[in-house]
């Protein structure tokens, strides 16, 4: 494409471009609203407070996992170990149901294991400079394998998702408000405020935007990265607990299918995988869009196959749109 064509397009669509670049939440929310409108047209009467509650409930674990991706993508990384850690957390907790310590002990063990995994990932990425993609991929193998070993050890005790987690993950207050918001709202506020207002949040952006400049201005990247991957692993574990409660299953492969959608939600939300650009608000809307889209395709009676094709196409289109509006300014 020649520069002249590009210039013309820039002028004619400058307003849209600026809107998209500076306030990505507006077009994203509009897209979400359009999807909801389409679903209402396709199946009149389906959109109700109860339906919104169900959608919210399904979005919460995905939104938390996408939070892990958002944070690590801001530094130019990615966290592929969230699926394994989430499954591990849900599964380990379930194996402790009949033990003397009960569910609290199980949750404690699961969170501790997640922190250890995150610490090792952080050391690998921060200190040893291993590529985050590979480091988290290797860590997901390790966590998955160890969880499988644990499964064989604990197979006698019998595993079931604790009732408390089931309520927290899938319960709806007055059939509308999901209880999982009790977990999600604090997490969301912490990430949103942390990214905007705290020094640590700034450091994440700084390292992702320009690592050299960040280092020269005194940022200790390795400390930031270790803290980042510990936080990410903790969030993944929390999401895993909610996910096991939501689906009422505790298996070592529970979170596997959520890894790629979590990256997708962050990408749709406007976080750049190259680092330094994005935020959590967009990611939340991205997770909602993906959930509503899934619901829409179900309503339309389209098979899983079509859903995947549409998912993939949307990610490419949205990511291309972002690249277009942000790269030539």
Partner 1 sequence: MTAATAPVDARLARATVILGSAVRRNIWTIALLALLVVLLLSAKVIQPRYGFIAIQGLGTSVLPLGLAAVAQAIVVIGGGIDLSIGSMMALTSVVAATAMTGQNEETGVVVVLGVLLLGLVLGGINGALVVTTRVPDIVVTLAMSFVWAGFALLVRAAPGGEAAQWLKDLAVGPLGNQWVPKAAVVMLLIVAIVWIPVARSKLGLSIYAIGSNSLAAFRSGVPVGRTRFLAYALTGLFAALAGLSLTASTGIGTPVPGPYTLESVAAVVLGGVSLAGGRGGVFGPIVAVVVLQMIRTDMTFLNIDSNLAIVAQGVILIGVLMSASLLEFRRTRR
Does 304 bind partner 1 (CB under 8 A)? Our answer is yes
Residue 19 vs 130, nearer CB to partner 1 = 130
Strand partners, 178: 172
Question: Encoding tokens for residue 206?
Answer: 């700084």
Interface pick for partner 1 out of 146, 154, 177, 192 (rule CB under 8 A): 146
Site for partner 1 in 273-302 (CB under 8 A): 273-274
Residue 114 vs 183, nearer CB to partner 1 = 114
Size of the site for partner 1 (CB under 8 A): 48
Question: Encoding tokens for residue 54?
Answer: 């169900």
Does 133 bind partner 1 (CB under 8 A)? Our answer is yes
146 closest CA partner among 120, 122, 176: 120
* Shortest Å, Cβ 295 to partner 1: 17
CA 113, 65, 264, 282: dihedral to nearest 10 degrees? -140
Does 7 bind partner 1 (CB under 8 A)? Our answer is no
* Shortest Å, Cβ 140 to partner 1: 7
* Shortest Å, Cβ 311 to partner 1: 5
Own/partner long-range contacts of 182-191 (Cβ < 8 Å, ≥24 apart): 183/60, 183/238, 183/242, 184/60, 184/63, 184/64, 187/64, 187/67, 187/235, 187/238, 188/63, 188/67, 188/280, 188/284, 191/67, 191/70, 191/71, 191/280
Instruction: Give me the residue label for tokens 């047209």.
Output: 41
Question: Encoding tokens for residue 278?
Answer: 């994005």
308 closest CA partner among 294, 326, 322: 294
* Shortest Å, Cβ 277 to partner 1: 12
Q: Which stretch binds partner 1 (CB under 8 A): 9-17, 224-232, 260-268, 282-290?
A: 260-268
Does 305 bind partner 1 (CB under 8 A)? Our answer is yes
Q: How far is CA 259 from CA 156, 158, 282, in A?
A: 30, 27, 18
Interface pick for partner 1 out of 142, 182, 206, 301 (rule CB under 8 A): 142
Does 264 bind partner 1 (CB under 8 A)? Our answer is yes
Does 311 bind partner 1 (CB under 8 A)? Our answer is yes
Does 220 bind partner 1 (CB under 8 A)? Our answer is no
DSSP result, 248-314: T---TTTTGGGHHHHHHHHHHTT--TTSS---HHHHHHHHHHHHHHHHHHHHTT--HHHHHHHHHHH
Does 309 bind partner 1 (CB under 8 A)? Our answer is yes
* Shortest Å, Cβ 197 to partner 1: 29
Does 86 bind partner 1 (CB under 8 A)? Our answer is no
Interface pick for partner 1 out of 7, 12, 49, 131 (rule CB under 8 A): 131
DSSP result, 158-213: -----HHHHHHHH-EETTTEETTHHHHHHHHHHHHHHHHHSHHHHHHHHHHH-HHH
Does 6 bind partner 1 (CB under 8 A)? Our answer is no
Does 54 bind partner 1 (CB under 8 A)? Our answer is no
Does 129 bind partner 1 (CB under 8 A)? Our answer is yes
Residue 128 vs 174, nearer CB to partner 1 = 128
Does 202 bind partner 1 (CB under 8 A)? Our answer is no
Question: Encoding tokens for residue 119?
Answer: 């610490």
Which parts of this chain interact with partner 1 (CB under 8 A)?
78, 80, 120, 124, 128-131, 133-135, 137-142, 144-146, 148-149, 152, 260, 263-264, 267, 273-274, 303-313, 315-316, 319-320, 322-324, 327
């Amino acid at each position: 494409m020649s520069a002249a064509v590009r210039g013309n397009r820039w002028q004619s669509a400058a307003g849209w471009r600026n809107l998209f670049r500076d306030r990505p939440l507006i077009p994203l929310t509009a897209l979400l609203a359009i999807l909801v409108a389409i679903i209402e047209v396709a199946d009149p009467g389906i959109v109700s407070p109860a339906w919104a509650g169900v959608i919210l409930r399904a979005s919460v674990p995905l939104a938390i996992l996408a939070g892990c991706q958002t944070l690590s993508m801001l530094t130019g990384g990615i966290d592929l170990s969230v699926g394994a850690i989430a499954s591990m957390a849900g599964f380990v907790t379930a194996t402790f149901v009949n033990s003397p310590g009960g569910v609290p002990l199980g949750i404690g063990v699961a969170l501790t294991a997640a922190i250890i995994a995150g610490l090792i990932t952080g050391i690998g990425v921060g200190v040893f400079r291993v590529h985050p993609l590979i480091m988290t991929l290797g860590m997901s193998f390790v966590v998955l394998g160890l969880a499988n070993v644990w499964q064989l050890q604990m197979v006698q005790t019998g595993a079931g998702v604790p009732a408390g987690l089931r309520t927290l993950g899938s319960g709806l207050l007055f059939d509308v408000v999901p209880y999982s918001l009790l977990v999600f709202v604090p997490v969301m506020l912490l990430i949103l405020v942390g990214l905007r207002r705290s020094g640590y949040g700034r450091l994440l952006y700084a390292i992702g935007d320009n690592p050299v400049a960040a280092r020269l201005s005194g940022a200790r990247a390795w400390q930031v990265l270790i803290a980042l991957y510990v936080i990410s692993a903790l969030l993944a574990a929390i999401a895993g607990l909610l996910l096991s409660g939501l689906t009422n299953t505790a298996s070592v492969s529970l979170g596997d299918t959520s890894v790629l959608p979590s990256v997708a939600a962050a990408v749709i939300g406007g976080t750049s995988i190259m680092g330094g650009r994005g935020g959590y608000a967009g990611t939340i809307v991205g997770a909602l869009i993906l959930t509503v889209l899934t619901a829409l395709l179900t309503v339309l009676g389209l098979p899983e196959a079509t859903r995947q094709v549409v998912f993939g196409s949307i990610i490419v289109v949205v990511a291309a749109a972002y690249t277009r509006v942000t790269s030539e300014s």
